Amino acid sequence: MRKSSVREICLIKICAISFLALAFPALASSQFLPTGGNAFFGYSYVRGQTFGKGGALLGTSNLSGWEASVEGKYLPWLGAVADLDWHYGGHETQICQPLGPCTALRVSASRDTLLFGPRASTVYRRLRPFADLLLGLAYQSNKGEGAGISNSDLSFALALGGGVDYQLLRSVWLRGQVHAVRTGFLGHSEFDPRISAGIVFRF
């Protein structure tokens, strides 16, 4: 088995065990059950990196996709969030042969992120501003057909940011949010902006 595959499996097990160790004791006692919450789904954009052969950094890429999250409210101003996103895009580059022509090539990138963490918020009339700190895992794969580019990596991830909800109906809100997402794919540490907008259902 490849070293990268062993590393990915170990990171997934660590994350799963840590989450279960924290979640089960809380759920075992009714006093830790949320008293309400909300669910969000919308469009999401990330300005991320694309990697080539050997994990070489090719450049930045525009990655579009979706983001979904669920927040459980434990206090009027504090909640716990589970956040999942998926983004897809690519980077245009060239492959040049020694003393030969250059060929245009598109390297496709796909990124998924699963995050958990606390969120603080307040309500002012129809507005609900919030801020959160989320931790978890991110996975990215890069493929360039015709150039033999195919790599992937799993990384710990941290997202810091916030946003604001605007009330349309009693239980339906609109959301806009911005996060700085830190990852470490293929040995490259980076902070990427993630911008999302969509609809929120409160329960």
Taking the C-alpha atoms of residue 78 and residue 80, their distance in angstroms, rounded to an integer, is 7
Whole-number pLDDT of residue 90: 84
Taking the C-alpha atoms of residue 81 and residue 79, their distance in angstroms, rounded to an integer, is 7
Amino acid in position 41:
F
- Taking only the tens place, the pLDDT of each residue in 91-115 is 777 766 676 677 777 888 999 999 9
- Taking only the tens place, the pLDDT of each residue in 115-172 is 999 999 999 999 999 999 999 999 999 888 766 788 999 999 999 999 999 999 999 9
Q: Is 37 left (phi over 0), alpha (psi -120 to 50) or beta?
A: left
State both tokens at 182.
Answer: 């830190």
Whole-number pLDDT of residue 85: 97
Taking the C-alpha atoms of residue 123 and residue 165, their distance in angstroms, rounded to an integer, is 9
- Could you tell me the residue ranges of all domains in the chain? 1-32, 34-202
State both tokens at 140.
Answer: 């990215």
The model's confidence at residue 187, banded by pLDDT at 50, 70 and 90, is confident
What 8-state DSSP symbol labels residue 146?
Answer: T
Estimate the share of the chain in helix, then strand, then coil, as percent rounded to the nearest 5: 15, 65, 15
Q: Is 5 left (phi over 0), alpha (psi -120 to 50) or beta?
A: alpha
- Taking only the tens place, the pLDDT of each residue in 38-85 is 999 999 999 988 888 878 888 888 999 999 999 999 999 999 999 999
Whole-number pLDDT of residue 178: 98
Helices (H), the chain: 3-27
- Taking only the tens place, the pLDDT of each residue in 7-38 is 556 666 555 555 555 555 544 444 567 788 99
Instruction: Look at 146 and 190; give whichever has higher pLDDT.
Output: 190
State both tokens at 39.
Answer: 């669910």
CATH class of this structure's domain 34-202: mainly beta
Reply yes or no on whether the pLDDT at 193 is more than 90: yes
Q: Are 72 and 61 within 8 A, CB to CB?
A: no
Instruction: Look at 173 and 21; give whichever has higher pLDDT.
Output: 173
